[in-house]
Chain A
Amino acid sequence: MIRNLKELYQYRALLWALTARELKARYRASVLGFLWTFLNPTLNMIVYVLVFGVIMSTSVERYPFFLFCGLIPWVFFASSILGGTTSVSDRKDLLTKVRFPAQVLPATVVATNLVNFLLSLPLLFLLGALYGDWPSWHLVFLVPVLLVQTFFTLAVTYLLSSLNVAFRDLQHIVANLVQMLFFLTPVLWNVETIPAIHRFGLDLTAEQARDAMLYANPMAAVMNAWRDIFYAHAVPAWQPLVAVAGVSLVLMWISSGVFERRREEFAELV
Chain B
Amino acid sequence: MSAPSSDAIVLKSVVKSFRKTSRKRETTTLKTELVRWLTFRKKKAEPSQLIQALTGVDLRIPRGKTVGIVGRNGSGKSTLLKLVTGIYTPTSGTIEVHGRISALLELGAGFHPDFTGRENILINGIILGMSRAEVKARVEQIIEYAELGDFIDEPVRTYSSGMFMRLAFAVATHVDPEILIIDEILSVGDEHFARKSQAKMNEFRHGGKTILLVTHALGTVESWCDLAAWIDGGKVRMFGDPRRVVAEYRRAIAAAEAEAEKTGHSALSAPGLALPQTNGAQAQGVAGARLTGVRLHDGAGATAASFSSDAALSVVLDFEALSKAPLRFSVDVMSADGRLVFSLGYDAGELAGKGAVTLKVPRLGLAEGVYELLGTVTRPGEPPPPPHRVALTVSGSAGAGVLKPVHEWAVERPDN
Which residues from chain A sit less than 8 Å from chain B, CB to CB?
A: 13-14, 17-18, 21, 24-25, 28-29, 93-100, 166, 264, 267-269
Contacts and interface: CB of A to CB of B under 8 A. Distances in A.
Given A25-B112, A96-B82, 5 more contacts: A14-B126, A21-B119, A24-B115, A267-B82, A268-B19
A94 B131 contact: no
A141 B132 CA distance: 34
- The 3 lowest CB-CB distance pairs between A and B, nearest first, are A97-B109, A97-B106, A99-B86
A24 B110 CA distance: 15
B112 A14 contact: no
A13 B126 contact: yes
A267 B19 CA distance: 13
Quick one: which of B18, B82, B106, B127 has the most chain A CB within 10 A? B127
B88 interface: yes
B184 to A, nearest CB: 13
12 contacts: A14-B127, A17-B122, A17-B126, A21-B123, A93-B109, A94-B109, A94-B110, A97-B109, A99-B86, A99-B129, A166-B25, A269-B22
Interface of B: 18-19, 22, 25, 82, 85-89, 101, 103, 105-106, 109-110, 112, 114-115, 119, 122-123, 126-129, 131-132
Contact of A98 (B89, B105, B112, B132): B105
Quick one: which of B19, B105, B110, B123 has the most chain A CB within 10 A? B110
B87 A267 contact: yes
A99 B122 CA distance: 17
Contacts of A96: 82, 87
Nearest to A91: B110
B127 A100 contact: yes
B123 A17 contact: yes
B105 A97 contact: yes
A25 B131 contact: no
A98 B126 contact: no
Contacts of A21: 112, 115, 119, 123
A25 B115 contact: yes
B89 A18 contact: no
A94 B22 contact: no
B127 A268 contact: no
Quick one: which of A14, A21, A97 has the most chain B CB within 10 A? A97
B112 A99 contact: no
A100 B103 CA distance: 11
B127 to A, nearest CB: 6
A98 B107 CA distance: 10
Contact of B88 (A17, A97, A100, A267): A267
Nearest to B114: A28
A268 B126 contact: no
B330 to A, nearest CB: 49
B186 to A, nearest CB: 17
